[in-house]
Amino acid sequence: MELIGKITKKNDDLSYGFVTVPKLGDIFFSKDTSFSNTTFDEVSLDQKVKITATETPRGLFATSFQLVSIQKPKVSPEQATL
């Protein structure tokens, strides 16, 4: 299942973290997660991410992980000169 959430916990020493997804809670990720457009070392708290999660005996695990880019609003040339 594809989900959108926010990184709320990250432990660099033990190479794991959690993404909090509304209505589902915390979903575990680690260096075993497949990262797209980033790496474990580059992610930080409060970043918005899209994950694919799977159920494991220990709870939900993020099998894939991708940063969600926050697009800045485009400024028209007219607005830029104001």
- Average per-residue pLDDT in the chain? 89
Q: Average pLDDT of 72-76? A: 58
| Residue 28 or residue 72, greater confidence | 28
Per the CB < 8 A criterion, the answer to whether 41 and 33 are in contact is: no
Q: Average pLDDT of 55-77? A: 81
Per the CB < 8 A criterion, the answer to whether 17 and 10 are in contact is: yes
Let me know how long the chain is. 82
Per the CB < 8 A criterion, the answer to whether 1 and 61 are in contact is: no
d(CA 4, CA 44) in angstroms, rounded, equals: 15
> What pTM does this model have?
0.80
Summarised one tens digit per residue, pLDDT across range 25-55 is 999 999 999 999 899 999 999 999 999 999 9
Give pLDDT, residue 43: 94
CB atoms within 10 A of CB 39: 9
